């Protein structure tokens, strides 16, 4: 390495150091202030490429750690905010795997059926449960076509302050709303990018410049149970 290269590298390092906080500022500027309401100008969504999704469960583990829905070793009653599903084509025998979670529908059946309005959809498309007014009737679980919701069947311990849970109420994927509101991305997407197969993209479906919107515009994708016309925020490719 000659002196010119060393100088060049040094200059690059200085530039990066100077620019990084600026880039971070842009990210922060794009985040929503806590007092600012979620807006319908955005619609958060996910694009999942099933052809890239392998047999790892980085997304599931990351979600569990992030949101603290550790079970009691009882699969039938333990919560499951995100799960890996294996598909086998009945005709051809072709096998695929993909992660499945709340699909954050534009017309969510869970919100329609909830008697108290505890199930609700934010203006930016994230479907949530208000734990304070959920009475635990479980009608939303009957109505959800994706089996995306879990009932908290027993006492919960070690809750995360950003993901409150409660025995006797229903819960599901929040799209890591606490991260998204702070300008971040969901834990599953982050983990898939770091430790998985980079099969998941998160972003604003309404922002034509976002990566997710550009990818969706470029090639075909599908919703699960498109016949129900729920306009899901989670889209799949190569299923």
Partner 1 sequence: MTHIHYRQIEGRSLGYYALLALLGALVAAGLAAAWYMEHNGHWVTGMSNQIVWGTPHVFAVFLIVAASGALNAASVAAVFGRAPYKPLARLSGLLAIALLVGGLAVLVLDLGRPDRLIVAMTTYNFRSIFAWNIFLYTGFIALVVVYLWMMFERRLNAYSRPVGVFAFAWRLVLTTGTGSIFGFLIARQAYDAAVLAPLFIAMSLSFGGAIFILVLLAACRGTGRPLGDELLRRLKNLQGVFVLAVLYFVAVHHLTNLYLAERQGVERFLLLDGGVYTRTFWIGQILIGSVLPLLIFFTARAGARALIAFGCVLVLLGGLAQMYVFLIGGQAWPMPLFPGKEVSSGFGDGAIAAYSPSLPEVLLGAGGIGIALALVALALKALPFLPESLADTDDDPHHKTGAA
Residue 125 CA to residue 103 CA, distance in Å, equals 10
Q: Which is nearer to partner 1, 7 or 135 (CB)?
A: 135
Q: Which is nearer to partner 1, 48 or 213 (CB)?
A: 48
Give the one residue of 53, 58, 79, 163 binding partner 1; rule: CB under 8 A.
Answer: 79
Q: Which is nearer to partner 1, 57 or 204 (CB)?
A: 57
- Establish if 224 lies at the interface with partner 1 (CB under 8 A): yes
Residue 45 CA to residue 139 CA, distance in Å, equals 25
Q: Which is nearer to partner 1, 202 or 236 (CB)?
A: 236
**Residue 124 CB partners (closer than 8 Å, separation 6+):** 38, 39, 40, 42, 43, 44
Name the packing angle between helices 58-67 and 187-194 (round to 10°): 140
Q: Min. distance of Cβ 197 from partner 1 in angstroms? A: 18
Give the one residue of 153, 162, 206, 215 binding partner 1; rule: CB under 8 A.
Answer: 153
**Residue 97 CB partners (closer than 8 Å, separation 6+):** 50, 53, 54, 55, 84, 85, 86, 87
Cβ pair 42, 180 in contact under 8 A: no
Give the one residue of 38, 106, 113, 182 binding partner 1; rule: CB under 8 A.
Answer: 113
- Establish if 151 lies at the interface with partner 1 (CB under 8 A): yes
Q: Provide the binding-site residues for partner 1, judged by CB under 8 A.
A: 72, 74-80, 83-91, 100, 109, 111-117, 133-139, 141-147, 149-155, 166-170, 224-225, 228, 239
């Amino acid at each position: 390495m000659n002196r010119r290269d060393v100088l060049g590298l040094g200059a690059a390092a200085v530039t990066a150091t100077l620019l990084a906080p600026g880039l971070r500022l842009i990210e922060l500027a794009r985040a929503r202030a806590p007092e600012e309401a979620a807006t319908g100008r955005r619609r958060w969504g996910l694009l999942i490429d099933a052809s890239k999704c392998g047999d790892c469960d980085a997304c599931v583990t990351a979600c569990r750690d992030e949101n603290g829905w550790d079970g009691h070793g009882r699969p039938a009653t333990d919560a499951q905010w995100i799960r890996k599903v294996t598909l086998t084509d009945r005709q051809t025998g072709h096998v695929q795997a993909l992660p499945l979670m709340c699909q954050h529908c534009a017309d969510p059946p869970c919100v329609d059926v909830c008697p108290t309005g505890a199930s609700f959809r934010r203006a930016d498309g994230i479907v949530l449960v208000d734990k304070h007014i959920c009475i635990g009737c479980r009608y939303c679980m009957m109505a959800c076509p994706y089996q995306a919701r879990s009932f908290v069947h027993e006492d919960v311990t070690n809750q995360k302050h950003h993901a409150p849970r409660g025995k006797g109420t229903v819960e599901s994927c929040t799209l890591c709303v606490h991260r998204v509101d702070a300008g971040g991305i969901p834990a599953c997407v982050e983990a898939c990018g770091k430790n998985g197969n980079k099969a998941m993209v998160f972003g604003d479906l309404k922002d034509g410049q976002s990566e997710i919107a550009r990818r969706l515009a470029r090639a075909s994708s599908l919703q699960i149970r498109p016949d129900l016309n729920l306009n899901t925020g989670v889209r799949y490719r190569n299923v």
